Structure 1
């Protein structure tokens, strides 16, 4: 416990100057909050332009409104929260240290790594502190929730190709920065990609990450096997699962990008339904998901004549079609030999990612049927109202 106190309370106050939403008018973006009849007062989500909000490491400064996400083992919950001094909405991740199976080292590691990283496509911790038997991590509210939740609730058959391109672009930007900072993420997947109200995708889930800089020296390869690997088995690269003397490096995250691309496109994760031993065998044999090759969302992304073919339902219960650039992109990511995989920087120059630059659209436009609302009842108790979770399906977080 003492190490948690040391690592999470470096600063007594933290200023918010992170998100692109800070440059916008909160009343315009979140007018629906004031229209909600069951709210006694509108809770603005964002500060006015040029305002700097200080977040104190003090639980009394925050009012937990509703639980909007829980971990599978129930030890961690994300709550929609009101910052009392400013009145703005944020999210707080509450980790119960007394819950069975809670890994103190993992909690400390995630906070330390996240606090080191500062990038527009990486979810920041605005402050973190110990409150009673819990660790509270304060972070911006990503109003669309995770991409996994969007797939489960609105796009079970997969996202439009344009959305996939935009999401992967921001994810690669985050990974490029993370790799340059000396970290391997080791858990890139839709559940760890959150979307802000303006359509900016941020990467989270750094509890699984590892540092490649040891004793001030950059390690060419890592041999550490991630804890709780069963949760990420479908996304992990063959070299991570092999656990041999060659080890692995940041290219293992590129393999996870390829798996995530199919997850976004088909709505389900490749290798779903297979036993862990079957997944391991398939990856070691170099088996890849069936590559798609034609447009899924109607109009072509660019004018060109190209042969197309359908993706079989290997990863999905229904057929979907995508462009050849998508096929080439995923093929590069899923190379069995990590030396043949491109870096995150190189993938940002790939034709599939570059297509998104030519589109005069954003994720909120593509996801228009989904409204980033947070219609929750006021809760006068000190604990978040679990029943309010049903009212916040638009922003439920899966992590």
Structure 2
């Protein structure tokens, strides 16, 4: 994969690096402004003095091979002073686990919207032979318009693990917390498998029977019996969900308003 080499002058003339908006395994993510177009972008910056730089290059190459509206697009990449810069689409709405959006406050129609968007993205990935294996609220990003974007991961797992993770994610979005937190070395899935119990919504009367049935299907303990992403897309809970306008736009307006109040005080 080709990476542009650039001088300090080129870097400074193309992007103005703004505030840091995230820190992860692949370095820091900054909001930046393209000085030629004025557009805001997200830039991943990775120190290339360690082996994580190659992993980030591989991630970038993988993202460039995808063509799906719910996967963030790579716009540019360059190397400068032992650091790799990858410019990507900015998801200005943040993630579904950020402090302003929060979890546990989404309506069922909004949760169904998230479910359908994630399922459609997973279907695309699975058909190309990839497994995400890390579906969770802070890996589900939103644009300013409330559109869903999925941060991509990969690992040696079967695609049915993504269905289980989506079910747990929807539980967290509905109730604001995971159905169980354990401190042992066992995974949450292993705990439920050992107990032969299925995670479920605590406030049964608050949610529709369709939502309960969707979660029961997605959280089927036996992976061989768990429905595929393609089958879940036909489920009554998500079948009639419309993509536009996004029902999450109102949440974004509310979170920005609350954020402005916090800044004022």
TM bucket (normalised to shorter chain) is 0.7 to 0.9
Distance 1:374 1:115 in 2: 34
Match of 2:193 among 269, 284, 297: 284
Three-state SS of the structure 2 residue aligned to 1:205 is coil
1:70 aligns with 2:15: no
Three-state SS of the structure 2 residue aligned to 1:253 is helix
Structure-2 change in CA distance of 1:278 and 1:109 (3 Å): closer
Structure-2 change in CA distance of 1:271 and 1:104 (3 Å): farther
Aligned partners of 1:292 and 1:324 also within 8 Å: no
Task: Report the count of equivalent residues.
Answer: 256
Match of 1:194 in 2: 141
1:363 aligns with 2:248: yes
Aligned partners of 1:143 and 1:374 also within 8 Å: no
What runs of 5+ residues in structure 1 fail to find an aligned partner?
1-6, 13-57, 211-223, 225-247, 294-308, 311-320, 376-389, 392-399
1:196 Cα deviation (Å)? 0.8
Match of 2:86 in 1: 137
Q: Relative contact order: is structure 1 or structure 2 higher (C-alpha 8 Å, sep ≥ 6)? A: 1
Distance 2:257 2:116 in 1: 21
Aligned pairs for 1:208-357 (under 5 A) are 209-210=154-155, 224=156, 248-277=157-186, 279=188, 281-285=190-194, 286-291=196-201, 309-310=204-205, 321-357=206-242
Aligned pairs for 1:95-244 (under 5 A) are 95-98=46-49, 103-149=52-98, 152-206=99-153, 209-210=154-155, 224=156
Distance 2:209 2:44 in 1: 40
Distance 1:278 1:120 in 2: 32
Tell me the C-alpha RMSD between the 2 structures: 2.9
Distance 1:153 1:275 in 2: 31
1:361 Cα deviation (Å)? 6.1
Between structure 1 and structure 2, the one with the greater Rg is: 1
Structure-2 change in CA distance of 1:66 and 1:144 (3 Å): same
Distance 2:121 2:105 in 1: 23
Structure-2 change in CA distance of 1:336 and 1:350 (3 Å): same
Deviations 1:158-189 (A, max 9, x none): 42212111111111111111111111111111
Distance 1:357 1:278 in 2: 35
Distance 1:136 1:166 in 2: 33
Distance 1:8 1:129 in 2: 9
What runs of 5+ residues in structure 2 fail to find an aligned partner?
none
Structure-2 change in CA distance of 1:85 and 1:189 (3 Å): same
Deviations 1:126-169 (A, max 9, x none): 122322222211111111111111xx434353422121111111
Name the TM-score, length of structure 1 as normaliser: 0.58
Match of 1:94 among 45, 53, 60: 45
